[in-house]
Amino acid sequence: MAAIGGRLRRRPPRYSAAALAWKGLRGESWPRVWRDCDLKRSYDAVVIGGGVHGLATAYYLARDHGMTDVAVLDKAYLGSGGSGRNTAIVRSNYLTPEGVAFYDRSVHLYEQMAVELNINVMFSQRGHLTLAHSDASLRTMHWRAEVNKLGGVNSSVIGPDEIKKECPSLDTSDHPRYPIQGALYHPPGGVVRHDAVVWGYARAADHMGVEMHQKTEVTDIVCEGGDGPDGKGAGGRVTGVRTNRGDISTPIVINCTAGWASLISTMAGVRLPITTHPLQAAVTEPVKMFLPTVVVSGSLHVYVSQTDRGELVFGASVDPYANYSVRGSLEFTEGLAGHVLELMPGVSRMRILRQWSGLCDMTPDYSPVMGFTPVDGFLVDVGWGTYGFKAAPVSGEQMAEAAATGRTPKLIEAFALSRFDNGELVGEKGAASVGH
Amino acid sequence: MTMSRQGVQPTEVIDRAAKLRFRWNGKRFSGFEGDTIASALAASGEQIFSRSMKYHRPRGILTADYWDPNLMVQVGDDPNVRAGHRLLESGMDVRSQNAWPSLNRDIKAANSLLGRFLTPGFYYKTFMRPRWLWPTYERVLATFAPGGKIDLDTSHAYHDKRYTHPDVVVAGAGPAGIEAALAASSAGASVMLVSHEHSVGGHLRYSSDAADQAALVELRTALDASDVEVLTDSTVTGRYEDNWLGIVQRNHPIAVERLIKARAKTLVAAPGLIERPYVFEGNDRPGVITSGAARRLVNLWGVKPGERAVVFSANAEGDAAVADLERVGTEIAAVIDGRTGGHISSTRGSSRAVDAVVADGASIDADLLVVAAGWTAPTSLLNMAGDRPVYDPAAARFFPSDPPSNVLATGGLAGDADLDGLRQHGAATGRLAAARAAAVRHRLQARTARALPVEGDEPAWAPDERAPLGRDPHPELYRADTHGMVDMSEDISSKDLVAAAHEGYDSVELAKRYTTATMGPSQGKLETVNTVAAIAEARGETISEVGTTVWRPPYAPLTLGALAGRMFEPVRVSSIHPWHEANNVSVIQAGQWLRPDHYGDPAAEVRNVRRNVGLIDVTPLGKLDLRGPDVPKLLSLLYVNKWMRLGIGRVRYGMMCAEDGVVLDDGVTGRLGEDHYMMSTTSSGAGGVWEWVENWLQTERPDWQVHVTPVTTAYASINVAGPKSRELMGRVCEGVDLDAEAFPYMTVRQATVAGVAGCFMWRIGFTGELSFELHVPAGHGLHVWEALMDAGSDLGVAPFGLEGQRIMRLEKGHFIVGQDTDGLTLGPSTGLGSLIKLDKDDFAGKPELAWAADRSLPMVVAIQPDDPGVVPQEAAQIVRGDTNEILGRITSSRYSPTLNRSICLGQVEPDLAAGGTKVTVLLESGERIGATVIDHHAHFDPAGERLRG
């Protein structure tokens, strides 16, 4: 894919084996991956949130639409939120034809990413197994497989024998509780090195002139003409943002702040039907490779994969209560361990090394909110719940198009904020809520 | 460097009379009772214990304790065992990890030659093209994954957890921790003292100083005489909200590891300090050890760490190490004093051993370098309590900032003092912890409903009047004038960190993620501060400005087995289950339940129900007993239809929708008395509906008077179905008129059945036949079932299972929530739109359903394939002609033994929902078949004459 609009402002140092060798021989160091810039007083667009969504949006604004006078603001460091806390699973075996098309595009962009961004994001398409422990879930797997096949996505239902072949560590015996009766097998699904995606977008956007500003917290959004206090709210328009490093004027503000999305939107007088829930994860000590695929069990609320470093990475479903705490709970690790051992009793001597938690912006229909709001110039790319990472490339591409052209692209029409006013919810509850 | 066992040391913990034999990489070795795996191997002269992750460099002892990153070994099927901590056992099969073909000759050590190319994050910069080769690259990279091997045949032995509620938990059993425990216990608190080590005493254990040893004896004697519960070889792994603590006990007599969950009223954090390695060229060469390692080897296990040593000392521990080494005959070639400007630059030698140390500009022959360069404060438990420790450059370590008032720090974590000073601070901390615990205990008692009121007023929250500990000055020693390893587990050098910072990964979190420093098994215990220091140096900032990473739980890793404990995921069966098992049942998993699927021939079971009478065990059907004057309001709120005027003895069908209008559950609810109702739910929805009901009552309508009791398993439920069911019921029931007019369809009656009082039954029929759904006190379920079987033998009574019921309900066109509906199916889509009463005040899902009322929605319809012999599989898609456009799907399908044809329910787009519409069904095989939508859901008896009979 060639750069359409974005011009390269400076010559990027290419990453390659030859360059590694050259620099190694000469003992040279690599230049900064992105610049440290002074914050300007004005930009053509400001993206709030330096995670994969914000950075991808900035990248596509520059690449596809020639908008390079863009600042990405993050209150901490790039990738400090969900982008660095997720379990890095990418797949497209969704339940609705719309979901399949959307995520299929995302998988496609992930496949291209290493070459396009010139950074190895290590997309390991090792296959993704969603286990069925009952008739009912097996029926849902068949349903997903049929929809996937019609959407051109590689996905099928396999039985215990084939599961054992793909993933020998799973206990496929006919034990009484949670027997593995079958699985939805999705060969193109896999895991990506999530941090590399953050750095890759940041680096590529930087090369085209986009500025990344870390430790830059937005404290208010400045609006005029709206029906609320201070000109905020419906009917108004955005004129700038205030930050801990000074004020910025800009006609376009894009909110990509995940767990903080509703608080940031409130700064523009826009209320979102979003609650923030913690999502916990954990990692074990490394052992030699034994788990070749990504394994998910909806009934057991667990997903697990083994990193190339040998660690098992686990996740579960969101905590059932709204909360902004990222401290994690003991009960989470206990439940997780129990569920993993139900699937793979052989790992009982592996040790949990670290647990953490991230914030998820949940919507009532488990689908995102993307595009325009009643405040002119204030766009949102939020409500990404537990499935934001796998959608980052396609979201960035579509949001950039919306911001640059002022029109909602077809692929995200269904995700408009207005759907909550007219009752046209999207439903991916079945495939998105526990199916990582 | 050759380590060797020396003469008996006064402080040693080994029993030289108890010799233990074990294997190390297949060869025979021996050690003594009390040895760790590492001390036994060191005593036998072993120098290399592992290979490093990236460069496969030989690694020897560094710290000789739990945190030693070089001492990770495999013991039997147990990977990543800390050989510096794990006690030797007879017959152990110990193997090195991360080396091939052997520890001594490792092919991947060739990587050391490539070091200059394997800069941090090198893998992000290559292996991108050609794309198809990446899986191969990945497989090669993955062979560098460190760690042991898991054995998939390892069984998960169940180990119960322990729950406890001590007043005070003391984490750490050094002198300050022990004094805190003793003082808190004397003040009347119940105390648990948790020692990470195998015995209490902290650093006193390996001190040869006579006063230290006397103090150790005194403290241990006092502990033995006290009420303090002492856990050794145990670690407080996490501190969660309200002092909810996870404690892992590694030396439980039965369990491999046991998880103790403790709710402490106050927590005393006394973990001591962890000695920090020093960064310089060759600092990971076997033969470079910390001063603590030297002292532990000598004093605990009688092992001489080397023949000729250079000691780099910047503190009293380093000085003490000199004395210990001399005592066992190690020649001290030089003592380099870091406090007065002495410095070391590098070690020289082979990759396997130190030959010389370059210090103060001169090369000194030595086979051992002992380093005492300072301390890391393990502030994990404070971090988990929300504290952000602050760096003090004068003392060269972090100190607590402002932990919550129920978490108190003492010992080295809190500051420095001589032994008496530490003990006094510990004791004062224990008294404060006990006083605050008493206040918490009083508050908890006052809030708990109990017969006796709490005595007295709540004690005041004790002020912290402890004399603070001092801070000994210590030089800031992080890196010498050369570069060396910062993270031994990950093979990350200070040069790597500087390069990463220059590349832009210059905050501690970014550098950590980019280089993986601090992400290995020791989780920063040894390397965090050196990592921060390297970044600070690269940025030209101070350590305070750079800050540190957040230490997350667990403090020490714990096994999945201990965390899982016994999984409480019981398999549920009804009280009638023994009968099924004795009668050739085929069972099916249905959520938590094992249920009869059939007894050999489901089609025959169906025919028998249609002709005679059958019994099905439907115990898992959810049942909620609802009492109170506001029950009708509750029912009106949660069901879409009207409930305010349900007569006593009447039963009504209801559908529940969630707030998004999607069908949540359905079932019948009957009114048993004036203020007494029984709600039934689907079997799979039993738990969810109960939560749903409670959620509304507790959070939205707390003022309503409704009492909810889930009684699903309090009753055994039997559906008696078929044209002869009334006759059968007549033979076993007393006190109820079963006549069609006295007990019509959709009513409920209470009765005595087969001599069992307190049964109730309702006339409803999922199967489409005349039927009585009987609910019997659970203990009598089997008796009533057997009585029905006996009484009906001449009527042809026979059991039927879930499969027969599913066939009959499909013949009758009854949908199943979750099968024929899904997470998108709005109420009207079920075909029961007329049930939804939008003129009601309010009910769950009303706004969405009001929107839905004006829209055309996908519909649940009955479908019959044109070829009656073809049964499309459930989930087969309904498509437009030869295209891939999805117009719906088959949700249920069976072959009907009653109609002798295939029958289906499905969901279709609105314009296909009219009776007579022809549709195309795409079979899994790829074949497309024709089918017809019929104009009502019931394939059989659409008028419902049999049901009402």
Q: pLDDT tens digits, residue range B332-355?
A: 999 999 999 999 999 999 988 999
- Token duo for residue B483: 């570069």
Cα torsion angle, B506, A212, A245, A324, sign = negative
Give tens-digit pLDDT for A182-233. Answer: 999 999 999 999 999 999 999 999 999 999 999 999 999 999 999 999 999 9
Answer whether A214 touches B (CB < 8 Å): yes
What's the pLDDT at A431? Answer: 44
Q: Hey, where are the domains in chain B?
A: 4-106+277-372, 162-273+380-447, 478-562, 577-809, 858-949
Nearest chain A residue to B523, by CA: A353
Answer whether A150 touches B (CB < 8 Å): yes
Taking the model in full, what pTM does it have?
Answer: 0.92
Residues 6+ apart with CB under 8 A from A350: A284, A285, A287, A312, B79, B150, B559, B560
- Token duo for residue B405: 């008032």
Question: What is the count of residue pairs from A and B with beta carbons less than 8 Å apart?
Answer: 289
Q: A39-89+195-273+365-432: what CATH class?
A: alpha beta
Which chain B residues are closer than 8 Å to A115 by Cβ? Answer: 128-129, 131
Give tens-digit pLDDT for B75-124. Answer: 999 999 999 999 999 999 999 998 878 888 888 777 777 777 788 888 89
What's the pLDDT at A2? Answer: 38
Q: Which of A104, A120, A194, A290 has the most B C-beta neighbours within 10 Å, making it the best mutation to test the interface with B?
A: A120
What's the pLDDT at B447? Answer: 82
Which chain B residues are closer than 8 Å to A133 by Cβ? Answer: 589
- Across the range B885-908, mean pLDDT stands at 97
Q: How confident is the model at residue A11 (pLDDT cuts 50, 70, 90)?
A: low
Answer whether A94 touches B (CB < 8 Å): no
Give tens-digit pLDDT for B436-447. Answer: 999 999 998 888
What's the pLDDT at B27? Answer: 96
Nearest chain A residue to B256, by CA: A349
ipTM attached to this prediction: 0.93
Give tens-digit pLDDT for A151-162. Answer: 999 999 999 999
- Across the range B537-557, mean pLDDT stands at 90
What's the gap in Å between the CA of A405 and the closest CA on chain B? 30
Which chain B residues are closer than 8 Å to A328 by Cβ? Answer: 240, 552-553
Give tens-digit pLDDT for A42-90. Answer: 999 999 999 999 999 999 999 999 999 999 999 999 999 999 999 999 9
- Token duo for residue A89: 């699973």
Measured distance between the N- and C-terminal CA atoms of chain A, rounded to whole angstroms: 29
Q: CATH number of B478-562: 3.30.1180, 1.10.3210, 1.10.10, 1.10.3470?
A: 1.10.10
Whether B131 has a pLDDT exceeding 90, the answer reads no
Judged by DSSP in three states, B24 sits in strand
Residues 6+ apart with CB under 8 A from B69: B59, B62, B487, B488, B489, B520, B521, B522, B526
Q: Which stretch of B251-255, B283-287, B910-914 has the lowest confidence by average pLDDT?
A: B251-255
Distances (CA, A) of B947 to B760, B803, B898, B944: 19, 20, 16, 5
Distances (CA, A) of A71 to A36, A210, A265, B723: 12, 6, 18, 76
Answer whether A336 touches B (CB < 8 Å): yes
Q: How confident is the model at residue B35 (pLDDT cuts 50, 70, 90)?
A: very high
What's the gap in Å between the CA of B427 and the closest CA on chain A? 30
- Token duo for residue B197: 């080590």
Residue range(s) of every CATH 3.50.50.60 domain in chain A: 39-89+195-273+365-432
Residues B325 and B372: beta-carbon distance below 8 Å: no
Nearest chain A residue to B238, by CA: A330
- Across the range A237-241, mean pLDDT stands at 98
Whether A7 has a pLDDT exceeding 80, the answer reads no
What's the pLDDT at A3? Answer: 42
Residue range(s) of every CATH 3.30.9.10 domain in chain A: 124-190+275-362
- Across the range B161-180, mean pLDDT stands at 98
Q: A124-190+275-362: what CATH class?
A: alpha beta
User: Which stretch, A347-351, B193-197, B660-664, has highest mean pLDDT?
Assistant: B193-197
Which chain A residues are closer than 8 Å to B886 by Cβ? Answer: 97, 147, 150
- Mean pLDDT in chain B? 94
Report the topology of domain B162-273+380-447.
FAD/NAD(P)-binding domain (3.50.50)
Nearest 5 degrees, angle CA A121-CA A127-CA A133? 135
Which chain B residues are closer than 8 Å to A356 by Cβ? Answer: 552
Whether A436 has a pLDDT exceeding 70, the answer reads no
- Across the range A300-327, mean pLDDT stands at 91
Instruction: Determine whether the interchain pair B561/A21 forms a contact, defined as Cβ–Cβ distance below 8 Å.
Output: no
What's the gap in Å between the CA of A221 and the closest CA on chain B? 27
Number of H helices, E strands in chain B: 22, 52
Which chain A residues are closer than 8 Å to B661 by Cβ? Answer: 423
Report the topology of domain B577-809.
Gyrase A; domain 2 (3.30.1360)
Amino acid at B74: Q
Evaluate whether the domain defined by B4-106+277-372 bears CATH number 3.10.20.440.
yes
Instruction: Determine whether the interchain pair A308/B873 forms a contact, defined as Cβ–Cβ distance below 8 Å.
Output: no
Judged by DSSP in three states, B918 sits in strand
What's the pLDDT at B450? Answer: 66
Give the span between the Cα atoms of B781 and B567, in whole angstroms. Answer: 28
Amino acid at B779: G
What's the pLDDT at B949? Answer: 73
- Across the range B308-323, mean pLDDT stands at 97
Q: What is the 3-state secondary structure (H, E, C) of chain A?
A: CCCCCCCCCCCCCCCCHHHHHHHHHHCCCCCCCCCCCCCCCECCEEEECCCHHHHHHHHHHHHHHCCCCEEEECCCCCCCCHHHCCCCEECCCCCCHHHHHHHHHHHHHHHHHHHHHCCCCCCECCCEEEEECCHHHHHHHHHHHHHHHHCCCCCEEECHHHHHHHCCCCCCCCCCCCCCCEEEEECCCEECCHHHHHHHHHHHHHHCCCEEECCCCEEEEEEECCCCHHHCCCCCEEEEEEECCEEEECCCEEECCHHHHHHHHHCCCCCCCCEEEEEEEEEECCECCCCCCEEEECCCCEEEEECCCCCEEEECCCCCCCCCCCCCCHHHHHHHHHHHHHHCHHHCCCEEEEEEEEEEEECCCCCCEEEECCCECEEEEECCCCCHHHHHHHHHHHHHHHHHHCCCCHHHHHHCCCHHHHCCCCCCHHHHCCCC
Higher-pLDDT residue of A364 and B124 is: B124
Any alpha helices (H) in B565-616, and if so which ranges?
577-582, 602-611
Give tens-digit pLDDT for A368-377. Answer: 999 999 999 9
Give tens-digit pLDDT for B388-431. Answer: 999 999 999 999 999 999 999 999 999 999 999 999 999 999 99
Q: How confident is the model at residue A4 (pLDDT cuts 50, 70, 90)?
A: very low
Residues B879 and B931: beta-carbon distance below 8 Å: no
Report the topology of domain B858-949.
Elongation Factor Tu (Ef-tu); domain 3 (2.40.30)
What's the pLDDT at B451? Answer: 62
Give tens-digit pLDDT for B829-863. Answer: 999 999 999 999 899 999 889 988 888 899 999 99
Give tens-digit pLDDT for B628-664. Answer: 999 999 999 999 999 999 999 999 999 999 988 999 9
Instruction: Determine whether the interchain pair A330/B384 forms a contact, defined as Cβ–Cβ distance below 8 Å.
Output: no
List beta partners, residue B668: B653
Higher-pLDDT residue of B686 and A424 is: B686
What's the pLDDT at B423? Answer: 98
